[in-house]
Structure 1
Amino acid sequence: MIEVLFGASEAASMKMAKGTVISTRTNGPTSMWSVGRKRLPKNTKGSWMEGTSDEVICLEFKLDIGDIQKTDVTYREELQRLRNLLVEEGAIRAWYSNAPYSICGFYHLCSIVKHYENEVLAIKLPEYQVRQDVLISYQNWGEVASEEFSSFLSYEKTVSIDERQYYAIAWSKLREENSPLRAVVNGRLLSVPESFYDFLIWESITKKPVKENELIGNLLGKNQISIGDMWYAKRIDTLIEQRKIRVIQDSDDQYERVICLA
């Protein structure tokens, strides 16, 4: 089974899930335990998921931000590898979430596979899971540990050819609009202006001087919407140019600047 993910960290976790063999020793846990695993999975022998790490494809194009009429060259080899596997009639399984970058990636994937007869499966990350009477919520697959991926297999669904066509048409429309930003609004993926998330900045910045890295850190912690620090930094730059935010103390390192409301 070919696993397709839309973020580098989650793809790396999936590679570990498919390529790691766990075993126990009389003198202690395995090396995997020593690099930070909180616990060994119940199945202490064999791979966490069937297959090998070579079956994982990462399409981290970050399609929620910027020009989507051009493809980032970074992952073109992965895209070609996917096309080759499709020709070989292999089944693929997409792991996506409601995070804008991820659902954009899924729509893009559907636009690629719409004409293929290969079996296409998808697992959408649920909003939460209940484990041992504890509710665990997720924003994207990057928050899921390697040993936990197999617990989501029950959410697997087949993506029919009609569904692929539907999402492909939606992606074509978004490409034509080619707005600076795409966001999920009331469950729908829409083109939005680049100022869409600015209200989050206005909620956090005051007349009191603050380091930019501290402000962005607060934004990331408070608003877990899978928008990265680079986007906030870009918007702060624009707002400084518009004289809506003032630089109190400049620095060669943008994140070390001290800023406040103008």
Structure 2
Amino acid sequence: MMEVVFSDSAAGSLKCALGRKGVTESHVIGIIGGDGLTKAEQRARIQQAREQERRAWEQAVPLEGSPGDVLCFPLYESVGDISGEDIGPQREQVLKELLGTCPEGAEAAQAMAETGRQSLRRLMERAALGEPFRVWASGSPDEACGLCWLLEQLRPLGLESLSCTCVPLPPCREWEAGTLTAYQSWAEAEPHQWGRLAGEGRKLSPAWARMLQNRWRELQEENAPLRAVVNGRLVSVPEEFYDPFIAREIAVQGREFQEAVVVGRVLGRYRLGIGDGWVARRIEAFIQAGLLEAVTQPEKDEPGYHRILRKVVGERPTPCKPFFKWA
């Protein structure tokens, strides 16, 4: 069975789950921000994490399959122009713009687009022969868009001939140990969780698949700058859609602040299903609008948002003005 995911992180985690045979040695574990700990305390915490991972794998449901069957489409279809029918220069340009804050963003964008092209070729060839496939798609914008986009690509094969299982991701899951995990996308699922969550999968009926295909065509006709999931429905929205959340986090900062802190707070606090690239892109729009100005510049090998910004105080027309309290 082919396994379809929509991010490199999800692909890596799923490959690990498929390649795991029983309980073996844990993966490399490190400590971030452990400067205040003694060497003994660090060793104790690492040992505790290894023991937790070992117990998790003992309780895990095996997931049959091969890591080589994982097909990844890291295309961020919730962002940018989607009028094109293939993974061409148009989609690659959107990826470059999203990854523009990274030092090697252009190369990464090319690699992601090529990964998508190769995965689509393999899926089309094998699905045409009747091989079943499983799509892991959550309610995050990129994965919701990815599912609709993928089914539209498969239209030439005929819906009745497809053997597709769709695995949704629950917003949260309580495990036997009494722990509760909240999910935003499949990129957050740990390798030992995939087998248990696979039980949520349901066969995708032709009627349901047709509805998703048609929804993608509607979104293509609208071709908005952005797509979001609102009340469970995938809709076209303006590029300013997430600005109030970003502006709210800027408003609580001092006159000068680290842009990376705002990016992290937006991603962590609101869990909107967007990436750091989009948040940084909108903050850059605030700078171009005269709401902020750069005080420092990032080092050559650092992301573009590793800099200090300053609020520009003064009266000026802005969108979402109640949130721009420094203006």
Work out the CA distance in 1 between the residues paired with 2:190 and 2:298.
36
Work out the CA distance in 2 between the residues paired with 1:91 and 1:149.
18
Question: SS where residue 58 of structure 2 aligns?
Answer: coil
Aligned residues: 252
Question: SS where residue 189 of structure 1 aligns?
Answer: strand
1:257 Cα offset (Å)? 2.5
Structure 1 counterpart of 2:323: none
Structure 1 counterpart of 2:102: none
RMSD, aligned CA: 1.9
Q: Could you tell me which of 55, 61, 67 is aligned with 1:53?
A: 67
Structure 2 counterpart of 1:81: 122
User: Residue 229 and residue 34 in structure 1: after superposition, are their counterparts in 2 closer, same or farther (change >3 A)?
Assistant: closer
Work out the CA distance in 2 between the residues paired with 1:161 and 1:200.
38
Question: SS where residue 22 of structure 1 aligns?
Answer: coil
Structure 2 counterpart of 1:235: 282
- Contact 2:80/2:225 (8 A) holds in 1: yes
- Larger fraction in strand: 1
1:212 Cα offset (Å)? 1.0
Structure 2 counterpart of 1:210: 257
Structure 2 counterpart of 1:167: 212
Structure 2 counterpart of 1:219: 266
Equivalence map 1:28-177=2 (5 Å): 30-31=24-25, 33-36=26-29, 38-40=52-54, 41-42=57-58, 48-70=62-84, 71=87, 72=91, 73-74=113-114, 75-114=116-155, 115-116=158-159, 117-132=161-176, 133-177=178-222
Q: Which moved more, 1:195-204 or 1:71-80?
A: 71-80
Work out the CA distance in 2 between the residues paired with 1:145 and 1:259.
35
Work out the CA distance in 2 between the residues paired with 1:198 and 1:126.
27
Structure 2 counterpart of 1:201: 246
1:209 Cα offset (Å)? 0.8
Structure 1 unpaired stretches of 5+:
24-29
Work out the CA distance in 1 between the residues paired with 2:230 and 2:280.
23
Structure 2 unpaired stretches of 5+:
30-49, 92-112, 313-327
1:43 Cα offset (Å)? 6.4
Is 1:15 equivalent to 2:31 in the alignment?
Answer: no
1:260 Cα offset (Å)? 3.3
1:19 Cα offset (Å)? 1.9
Question: SS where residue 94 of structure 1 aligns?
Answer: strand
Identity %: 31
1:109 Cα offset (Å)? 1.6
Question: SS where residue 282 of structure 2 aligns?
Answer: helix
Question: SS where residue 180 of structure 2 aligns?
Answer: strand
- Larger fraction in helix: 2
- Contact 1:113/1:164 (8 A) holds in 2: no
Structure 2 counterpart of 1:27: none
Question: SS where residue 48 of structure 1 aligns?
Answer: coil
Question: SS where residue 123 of structure 2 aligns?
Answer: helix
Work out the CA distance in 2 between the residues paired with 1:220 and 1:69.
28
Equivalent position amino acid for 2:306 in 1: E
Work out the CA distance in 1 between the residues paired with 2:229 and 2:153.
22
- Contact 1:93/1:121 (8 A) holds in 2: yes
